[in-house]
Amino acid sequence: MLEFTVDHPDIEKTDAERRATAHADLARWLGGDHTSNNHRR
Q: How far is CA 9 from CA 1, 22, 34, 41, in A?
A: 26, 21, 28, 16
What's the pLDDT at 41? Answer: 66
Closest CA to 22 of 37, 7, 12: 37
What's the pLDDT at 40? Answer: 72
Predicted TM-score (pTM) of this structure = 0.61
Per residue in 1-41, pLDDT (tens digit) is 999 999 999 999 989 999 999 999 999 999 999 998 787 76
CB atoms within 10 A of CB 1: 2
Within the chain, strands assigned E span: none
At residue 12, φ and ψ (nearest 5 deg) are -65, -40
